[in-house]
Structure 1
């Protein structure tokens, strides 16, 4: 993996675009044409899950949508359809900050957090208007199923995965709804009370972005899902559950920037002490590895953790490649530096890194040198008992790479819900960003196409996340009691065994 990382800090244009302004179709077509060319040149995962014919088809649709002038928000939604269709959780497309602030100012947001439980949209906030746990059927006459499908494009996942979109819905439902359907003067909510089927209606008032955020911080499910949306203060922990079972929780791999970082060194020492303890206590035969909140991070945290769970030599990935060694369309590239001279130096450093790590050109691709993907050995204190791994839709990037290695190359029994990160492969490691010249919409994606070092499994479908051996979903009753459904199920399995 490249040690060099691009940090995107840039100056925004000193103007505010009216949310009612319509852009000339010709300007929008220019941006869309450049957007397509950039992704064809730079995005090594463009045809990972879609054929060239399918990609060409969605662009034909996109161009057909801009025959007339359009507002910026409507053009943005077209771009979102494309980036979501590609199928990479590292795709991120954003509006100019000034526009978004203006577009979303005032009391325009749905006031209460929601959560998807067993495909039902539930109110996730104690309030005096609509009781906690009520099921929402429609908002302002729009059925929930239609709302959800229209919001999926705002939160990208790997391949054809849908479960991971629940993370975006849970954290940003009000924001997505406002962007999709515009500012609302009020919300007519059709709902039913908990454990009832009779439909009721209630009109509630919108709130500001500040109140929306505050309500989300105080959502009812905070004790269970708090780590899904916030960087964990305690990034990892080791807990003795019983005389024969322990729980290792790794909530993130954002533990230092590289192998020499003090945070990573401390993490490695912590793992050493944990697994030395296990090797000395042979009566402990069950290890629960909880990575349900792990949205990724940096190397080598994921690979080091795996070294304590595997019994055989392994690699981080089976293969990796990029599409270029020299940055295409440099005039639209978003640099960390603002000084022209320093931008040239930054670009040269980045391209030198690419040439070193991906030197071999074959069939239009630059493949990774093996020294960046060496054969690694299990740790001497590796665990030799039964592993149980808890997974969820939150798992992504380095988190899903780790979970894939565990699911494919150990005796782990996998429990929970499908991950948003792919089992077989993904695009990751090195993000880059471009800014479209007319609309100033920014698009970010990762350029390294990775095939993970995992075997084919009958329950693993290409284009999907890691499929659990035991699919265990939180029930409505467990939601209302803030009960950890997956962990309780796992402990019962161990007890019965």
Structure 2
């Protein structure tokens, strides 16, 4: 999900206070960590006030400090930190438990047995089994209503701004893990459900399963043929084909195509795009191009910007503005390094700061502004497509994927079809991740430091602090889910036929 230029991976050594899973930490230690957490984000995270006012941010910290006025377990404290992390509104935010704690905590625990999926805003069983039929709607688990569960689980999966649709990706992959994290290991689950297309509620008790069985069930979920690229390793990163006499399909499942403009993989991709759009330029009868980025969770520069050059008819830039909060890393004593030796860590930090100073050299209004040589005005490719574009989007689209989709939605004739993206339309925090580790609990927190506004116009259907809103909202129905139909793609083909 990260659109990375520099990655810092943490190893930070301070005296370690060890606590068992259920042991409570002294309030003093937790307050120290929460104070440092707040100070780091205010100094280093340029997106902390992107969607929230200072009053709102101060308010959630006031709540958090009240919550730890008494001793808390590490897990309880972690959930408080997650709420803050999610509240800020950046899909590049990530706060995690210490690895050793997480490994011990998960060992031997029991989980909800079936994969689930949100279909038509309902929680649906996504696994063929003999206890609760595939496609059944879950109304409650252990007497906790589904809407309550979903609201509580939102904090575990960050999205841009106030977006909610993107959290369905986390729910679909990690519902059982979220339930276990929130409510503890369960030997049994009392499930209230109704059969597909029926309203009568049925109650059944099902046994908890091991983590290995949970993983196996997810790999064998019903929806695998339709959503495998949203969760698994992407083997086919991009493809192009002619699907009718007047329509072609360009699918880009990721922008993780080489590390930079000189990378061999990127150059192969560029050559591939050249050949595709030269073909379209030479075949004027192909008047429609479907661009499918529904599985694109991001990647690296300049793949997104390069691809856009084949779809636009006018000059463009990656962003209208970008800035960071610092040139010298704040609170370096809590920084996470890739290197382990002190001298190499010093060099690593200097390299990081030198790159930041080069790209963001000018201080204006307490912000370090991007030098325009890193945000040049670019030209359309000579073979850019002149026909009608149909852009397919989904809640999975993030980071470089959403930046690309925003440019297409805002600056071309594209008809946008599908569901709201988790990545923002107007902007996001991205490019350069940095990670810290809190001194007492060893909880880790990561965020991206570049606050950027994408080079897109205001549009009536695009809302501040939300993802890209489609022109035609098309969601999978329960019937289509049962048959694993590609609802958005089929809708697009029919729309083209009507033109």
For Structure 1 versus Structure 2, the TM-score category normalised by the shorter chain is: over 0.9
The aligned counterpart of 1:311 is 313
Q: Which runs of 5+ in 2 are unaligned?
A: none
Q: Shift of residue 230 of structure 1?
A: 1.7
Q: Equivalences for 1:394-409 in 2 at 5 Å?
A: 394-409=396-411
Q: Equivalences for 1:173-252 in 2 at 5 Å?
A: 173-252=175-254
Listed one character per residue, the Cα deviations across residues 414-436 of structure 1 (whole Å, up to 9, x for unaligned) are: 00000000000100000000000
Q: Which runs of 5+ in 1 are unaligned?
A: none
* Runs of 4+ residues over 3 Å off in structure 1: 1-4, 9-17
SS at match of 1:434: strand
Cα distance change on mapping 1:152 and 1:294 into 2, 3 Å? same
2: distance between equivalents of 1:9 and 1:291? Answer: 32
2: distance between equivalents of 1:292 and 1:479? Answer: 17
SS at match of 1:426: strand
Question: Does residue 485 in structure 1 map to residue 491 in structure 2?
Answer: no
Cα distance change on mapping 1:4 and 1:145 into 2, 3 Å? closer
SS at match of 1:115: strand
Question: Quick one: higher RCO (CA 8 Å, sep 6+), 1 or 2?
Answer: 2
Q: Equivalences for 1:331-370 in 2 at 5 Å?
A: 331-370=333-372
Q: Shift of residue 197 of structure 1?
A: 1.1
Q: Shift of residue 99 of structure 1?
A: 1.0
Q: Shift of residue 17 of structure 1?
A: 3.9
**Does the CA contact (< 8 Å) of 2:255 and 2:296 recur in 1?**
yes
1: distance between equivalents of 2:182 and 2:17? Answer: 24
Question: Does residue 132 in structure 1 map to residue 134 in structure 2?
Answer: yes
The aligned counterpart of 1:261 is 263
**Does the CA contact (< 8 Å) of 1:4 and 1:350 recur in 2?**
no
Cα distance change on mapping 1:192 and 1:2 into 2, 3 Å? closer
Listed one character per residue, the Cα deviations across residues 306-336 of structure 1 (whole Å, up to 9, x for unaligned) are: 0000000000000000000000100100011
More deviation in 91-100 or 280-289? 91-100
The two structures have a TM-score, normalised by structure 2, of 0.98
SS at match of 2:20: coil
More deviation in 180-189 or 339-348? 180-189
Count of aligned positions: 497
1: distance between equivalents of 2:38 and 2:16? Answer: 27
Q: Shift of residue 357 of structure 1?
A: 0.3
The aligned counterpart of 1:454 is 456
Aligned match of 2:276 in 274, 277, 289?
Answer: 274
Cα distance change on mapping 1:3 and 1:422 into 2, 3 Å? closer
Q: Shift of residue 10 of structure 1?
A: 3.2
SS at match of 2:291: strand
2: distance between equivalents of 1:260 and 1:215? Answer: 41
Cα distance change on mapping 1:16 and 1:196 into 2, 3 Å? farther
SS at match of 1:289: strand
Q: Shift of residue 4 of structure 1?
A: 4.6
SS at match of 1:295: coil
1: distance between equivalents of 2:406 and 2:19? Answer: 44
Aligned match of 1:51 in 33, 41, 53?
Answer: 53
Q: Shift of residue 94 of structure 1?
A: 0.2
1: distance between equivalents of 2:484 and 2:466? Answer: 28
Listed one character per residue, the Cα deviations across residues 221-279 of structure 1 (whole Å, up to 9, x for unaligned) are: 00101101123100001011100000000000010100111110111011001001000
Q: Shift of residue 128 of structure 1?
A: 1.3
SS at match of 1:267: helix
2: distance between equivalents of 1:204 and 1:104? Answer: 20
1: distance between equivalents of 2:60 and 2:317? Answer: 36
Listed one character per residue, the Cα deviations across residues 274-314 of structure 1 (whole Å, up to 9, x for unaligned) are: 00100000000000000000000000000000000000000
2: distance between equivalents of 1:269 and 1:202? Answer: 56
Question: Does residue 373 in structure 1 map to residue 375 in structure 2?
Answer: yes
The aligned counterpart of 1:474 is 476
Listed one character per residue, the Cα deviations across residues 108-161 of structure 1 (whole Å, up to 9, x for unaligned) are: 111110000011000000111111111000001100000000000000000000
2: distance between equivalents of 1:164 and 1:16? Answer: 35
Aligned match of 1:90 in 89, 92, 106?
Answer: 92
The aligned counterpart of 1:108 is 110
SS at match of 2:289: strand
Kindly report the root-mean-square deviation, in angstroms, between the aligned alpha carbons of the 2 structures.
Answer: 1.4
Listed one character per residue, the Cα deviations across residues 316-370 of structure 1 (whole Å, up to 9, x for unaligned) are: 0000000000001001000110110000000000000000000010000000000
2: distance between equivalents of 1:2 and 1:464? Answer: 19
2: distance between equivalents of 1:231 and 1:307? Answer: 27
The aligned counterpart of 2:294 is 292
